[in-house]
């Protein structure tokens, strides 16, 4: 195939965390769903070694060269880190690329816009490599995780990369090794609401993660058998003398979220889906996120209340929290739920479960 005539388009969905918020980086499982808001990259190979990335959504562009070692010029320099990761895995690039990135996923709002971009970029660049590599969804997720989290020592887990790359609804457990179950429940509509409140994902992840990990590390010094994966809520009382009230509450909240996730897994794999139970479990999860992990906000709480009053079965904050998005489970009358969220000042979308990252080749324009 003549390189100059190849126009490649890749796209990847955003995601919501149905159950298990703030769990994956603690080696606890999550359940996530890809959503029908996507980000796409369309472009072609160049005759030189330049990479030119047009970013009209944010009025910007990025330009660098593949002809010399790639160094990072800013925090979270993901578009460059993907190149370095792919090269370390044996892909080569004798020609540059020019492309345009456009998306529908709310930015910095907890719906994995950055991970979806990185997954899309891995998919695009691997196909544009000298090897024309067509990587599996799992391999794309692995490379995206390396480029986003490991390359910059970020505090996040693996949920975003795997859920956006694989698509659908997945149960992901990363300990002792990555285990992914694809779930196929007949889930009804989700209604996503963006509060418009900016969030500092890195700070929130670091705060919540560091708090819990510090407590676990201290407990394991004197009780090597202590594990977040197996301890019960009641069992935490056995360590009361070593914990402050806040630490005990935080551990119990983490364990409660873990147990809610397993209850949800059972509910989502039943032959007949109990929509009300799914909603109730979301509400129980939100209560822990709001009252114990303290990652919700008054505006998001109002949006959630409005969604529930309008007939949603359940609703919760989405992502690391402190702003960004919430979503409601609304298999009935989702448009009414959307309008209720908008009346509280949120931007809202009625969504369905979507497929993972994909690509298509076409004649150049």
Residue 55's contacts (CB-CB under 8 Å, 6 or more residues apart) are 61, 62, 100, 101
Q: Which domain holds residue 282?
A: 190-351
Q: What is the phi/psi pair of residue 14, to 5°?
A: -80, -175
Residue 305's contacts (CB-CB under 8 Å, 6 or more residues apart) are none
Q: Are residues 234 and 285 both part of a single domain?
A: yes
Q: Are residues 227 and 115 both part of a single domain?
A: no
Tokens representing residue 141 in the block: 């997720």
- Each residue's pLDDT, cut to its tens digit, for the chain (365 residues) gives 444 567 999 999 999 999 999 898 888 999 999 999 999 999 999 999 999 999 999 999 999 999 888 999 998 999 999 999 999 999 999 999 999 999 999 988 889 999 999 999 999 999 999 999 999 999 999 999 999 999 998 877 899 999 999 999 999 998 888 899 999 999 999 999 999 998 877 777 777 888 898 999 999 999 999 999 999 999 999 998 999 998 999 999 999 999 999 999 999 999 999 999 999 999 999 999 999 998 999 999 999 999 999 999 999 999 888 899 999 999 999 999 999 999 999 999 999 999 999 999 976 55
Total tally of structural domains belonging to the chain: 2
Which CATH number belongs to the domain containing residue 274 in this structure?
3.30.70.890
Q: Are residues 160 and 235 both part of a single domain?
A: no
Contact 320, 110 (CB under 8 A): yes
Q: What is the phi/psi pair of residue 38, to 5°?
A: -130, 165
Q: Are residues 7 and 78 both part of a single domain?
A: yes
Q: Are residues 50 and 195 both part of a single domain?
A: no
CA distance 34 to 49: 34
Neighbouring C-alpha atoms within 13 Å toward the C-beta of 293: 30
Tokens representing residue 320 in the block: 């690391």
Provide the CA 255 distance to its chain's centre, in angstroms.
Answer: 21
Beta strands in the chain (DSSP E): 6-19, 30-45, 50-55, 60-65, 97-103, 169-173, 179-183, 190-194, 314-317, 325-329, 347-351, 358-363
Q: Are residues 167 and 206 both part of a single domain?
A: no
Q: What is the phi/psi pair of residue 43, to 5°?
A: -175, -165
């Amino acid at each position: 195939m003549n390189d100059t005539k190849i126009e490649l388009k890749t796209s990847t969905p955003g995601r919501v965390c149905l159950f298990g918020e703030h769990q994956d980086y603690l080696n606890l499982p999550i359940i996530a769903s890809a959503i029908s808001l996507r980000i796409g990259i369309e472009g072609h190979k160049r005759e030189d070694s330049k990479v030119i990335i047009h970013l009209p959504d944010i009025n910007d562009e990025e330009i660098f060269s593949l002809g010399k070692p790639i160094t990072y010029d800013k925090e979270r320099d993901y578009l460059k880190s993907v190149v370095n990761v792919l090269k370390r895995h044996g892909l080569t690039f004798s020609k540059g690329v020019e492309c345009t990135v456009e998306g529908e996923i709310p930015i910095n709002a907890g719906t994995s816009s950055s991970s979806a971009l990185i997954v899309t970029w891995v998919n695009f660049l691997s196909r544009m490599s000298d090897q024309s590599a067509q990587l599996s969804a799992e391999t794309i997720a692995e490379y995206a995780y390396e480029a986003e989290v490991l390359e910059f020592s970020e505090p996040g887990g693996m949920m975003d990369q795997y859920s956006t790359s694989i698509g659908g609804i997945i149960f992901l457990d990363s300990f002792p090794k990555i285990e992914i179950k694809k779930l196929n429940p007949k889930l009804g509509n989700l209604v996503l609401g963006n509060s418009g409140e900016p969030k500092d994902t890195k700070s929130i992840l670091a705060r919540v993660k560091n708090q819990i990990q510090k407590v676990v590390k201290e407990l394991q010094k004197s009780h090597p058998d202590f594990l977040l994966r197996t301890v019960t809520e009641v069992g935490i009382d056995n360590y009361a003398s070593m914990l402050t009230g806040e630490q005990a509450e935080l551990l119990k909240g983490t364990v409660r979220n873990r147990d809610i996730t397993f209850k949800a897994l059972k509910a989502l794999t039943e032959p007949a889906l109990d929509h009300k139970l799914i909603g109730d479990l979301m509400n129980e999860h939100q209560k822990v996120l709001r009252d114990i992990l303290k990652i919700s906000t008054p505006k998001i709480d109002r949006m959630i209340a409005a969604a529930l009053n309008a007939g949603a079965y359940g609703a919760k904050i989405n992502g690391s929290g402190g702003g960004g998005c919430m979503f409601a489970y609304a298999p009935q009358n989702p448009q009414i739920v959307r309008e209720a969220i908008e009346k509280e000042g949120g931007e809202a979308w009625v969504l369905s479960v979507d497929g993972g990252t994909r690509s298509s080749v076409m004649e150049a324009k």
